[in-house]
Copies of this chain bind each other. A is one copy, B any other.
Amino acid sequence: MKRSDRLVAMTNYLVEHPSQLVSLPFFSAEFDSAKSSISEDLAIINQNLQNLGIGYLESVSGAAGGVKYIPEYSQENSERFVDELCEELEDPNRLLPGGYLYMSDILGEPSKVRNIGRLFASAFASAEIDVVVTVATKGIPLAYAVASFLNVPVVIVRRDPKVTEGSTVSINYVSGSSRKIQTMVLSKRSLQEGSRVCIIDDFMKAGGTVNGMKDLMEEFRAEVAAIGVLAEAEDEDEERVITEYTSLIQITNVDVKNRQIEVHRGNLFLQE
């Protein structure tokens, strides 16, 4: 196979299999080429992924070695994407009763959702995540986007048990914003003991829901290694119960009466 053909096929393969170890013999056999040629191809691909600001190839040496595409969104790409998102969200027509913000249209765009996933996956690349956990409904697409870049499965916590889930574990928690007692359930067979989980959600005010998920994870003896929320907003009535988390955007000074709102970069950009 010619170099130009290999470059197309290998780029496609690596981009489609992020965070997954690929052995050189696999590429060598797949494209009927010498290992030395494959190594040169990988060097070219690595350089270009870095130039594009979308990650790099990690070499793993040894008998079980190979390369792994680590998606890493550059600071420049991240800032540009989040700044555009902030601008879009600052539209006062998005204000809903209770100081909530209409974001369903943005969460409905697969390309934006994919970029949000890329940002969280970059941030949590070294956290050794085994599984991404979210609660139905709006966090689901974000959780899949993160998980696809980290190459780990997604587990969905539900508000109501369903026959197609088998036996479940449930907990009660107090929702910060409505102050109602709510229930969360998770199928028993869905999560292994000792898993390192990353909790993903779309929106956090006081953090009652995320806290509920943390409690539920304890029931499964899982370890919460990272928490990512797309948007965080202040809750004027209640202090936040979650302190360690990563947000992409912050919503402040929501003034429903005067139809004003401010949207800024989240704490992801403070940490760096």
Contact = CB atoms under 8 A, between A and B. Distances in A.
Contacts of A164: 96, 100-104, 138, 203
Contacts of A114: 16, 148
Interface string A102-143: 111100111101100000000000000000000011101100
Contacts of A108: 153-156, 190
Contact of A163 (B98, B111, B147, B151): B98
A114 B158 CA distance: 22
A165 interface: yes
A172 to B, nearest CB: 18
A182 interface: no
Contact of A154 (B4, B103, B141): B141
Determine how many copies of this chain the complex contains.
2
A103 B165 CA distance: 8
A12 interface: yes
A265 to B, nearest CB: 22
Nearest to A142: B144
Interface residues on A, range: 35 or more
A15 B17 CA distance: 12
A107 to B, nearest CB: 8
A11 to B, nearest CB: 4
Nearest to A141: B144
A34 interface: no
Among A44, A98, A144, A203, the one with the most B-chain Cβ atoms within 10 Å of its Cβ is A144
Contacts of A15: 11-12, 15-16
Contacts of A153: 105, 108-110
A48 to B, nearest CB: 4
Interface string A43-61: 0110111011010000000
Given A7-B4, A12-B52, A44-B5, A137 B158 contact: yes
B104 A190 contact: yes
Contacts of A47: 5
B102 A154 contact: no
A109 B267 CA distance: 29
A144 B105 contact: no
B9 A12 contact: no
Nearest to A2: B44
A85 to B, nearest CB: 16
B190 A105 contact: yes
A7 B12 contact: no
Contacts of A11: 7-8, 11-12, 15
A80 interface: no
